[in-house]
A and B are shown apart, each in its own frame.
Chain A
């Protein structure tokens, strides 16, 4: 077993964990993040991609609304490549309670959220897809956010300040000595190799898995696992985000996102944090509810369904510290349970991940005797792309391709452009749906954190478009066969990738998507015999 030493081990590669890693690194605290799968394989990529303005929470929880607004503004500033500032709408239907709109307007004003009532004729002109019966509509400063990109930007920023990342490493033990955490035992999920990291502190940011991680230290945290199902349409249904103006419920948010629209969500309590199977009946229910806002919804082409598990912290077990808001809970297990060097951060939402990280690292720094202040709200996540570089990118990848690649790649964009300039062969577009070039795929494949086709998908969006990887997964496999880490078991790479895509296609398999599914089955079974491949 190999061993190394670090001040803090962060457990969980979601928005919160990566935010914490970055915050620690910026304050000069040595840290390593361990994640059981790939970064963002959990809840941080399984949501609607809405960067809340806070309007949705204004009535129920003003403090949460204020936090959202503030964090929304910060993320727009520090991570423009991750945020699409498209604005949001709240629309009221005849069956919605008009009194709620009044209450909501007051609450938004109190939280400082700017709302602007829209002329209904203008609304119908701009967004004809919406139900013509809409009675009132308001503009709010909502944005769309790319979870994958935020997480990798966090990690890349943290790495520039010395932090490290271990994906596919699951925590199997937490060592303690005299009431103090001393290290973490890990197993490499890909190789089975075991590893030990000695540390002074552990931060449990495992999200839906936080209870399981705490249990390894003999502690109890009650996390409710709340599954939400979402569906993705193959184009942008609306220009802006559309929320329904009523108390938050199922099926009331549409978020246009890159080339698609994500619509959600539902709420079902589950036992297993890994339960991300979108339910057929949930999908049917979602679409039925969504038709209130978009009557023709059933006729638009769906790409897939997916589900994420929201980790909701159950109040009552809370330490109830003053820093803790009602939306996330920072658990100081030294005070709570007498275990030194163990902190858990649970609950919360994607929009406020940075704030959660700040509060968590404030506590960690205090315990470690570090006085450096938080800088995550000021330091940009990635340097802005140089316009001259973008022009060079357009010459090799085309206009839309270059813009997308620049946003996805952040600081690595320069390297990828240089490679494509040097080698015209690398300019081939492998994923036509998301405009991903061979150069980008090759770069990501060699970054040290890519072990499966799925890892490459999450970083590049390869395979996330209409064909759901039918063509580009085979191409990617071919292009990667030259690299030692991908040269091995092609059957395994392809089968696992296609199976994961299948899981999301099945619940929405009708219309054009059933046709696509038949093509995929014809290609991989009829033409390639993948089902009997050795």
Chain B
């Protein structure tokens, strides 16, 4: 399995990459870590005539604190999400999700921005970006814009990024005192795509949940916020009755697809089990 022949261009600035894309027409793809794109090229699911390599663009690198936000450059490798002290302190939900992303060698090369831009509904990071109410910075011919995560994931593998635009960074609200996180996923084999995965960020006042963001992955065409479950928990203490109410509310939040090996009812059941475990964990931390 080999990729179709293509021409290769290495960009060194965002401007250069955008210009190269504009000059190349439609049949062109950006490549960052390439850990999803290269298999897609090998399988000829995609066959662009031109590949623009953005790995050498310095502005897409780095993790920095920017006021009330943590700016995570698009080219941040998954392995850096595991080791960077700013991620551990200010975005612990992303740190918790990182060990579940593929395997060590994939994490050495794959990028955080690439994962968010690809928007694979089975991937950990897009769903966590949604749970965190992050904002995605995009550069295009007409300048820069920031898109709320809520408005970013539009359909299966589709996002608010238009053709020819580049994801520059993801801005995550800083983790605050009194907030709690939990993450887990159920997979048949370590490193495989999850049957169901979930992560949450709760803002607590004592043992009362003031606000909570809950996101699921591998349960639909897009990463999915569990809004009804969030409503069931907001303003309440976490106890067995509240956990049961949140689990029941998932009926209204999730509509997993049916497949032969994983029936929709099974996936929904696993989602309830997972949510129960995560709420139990943050309840114990109270």
A and B held together in a complex? no
Chain B interface residues toward A at CB < 8 A: none
Chain A interface residues toward B at CB < 8 A: none
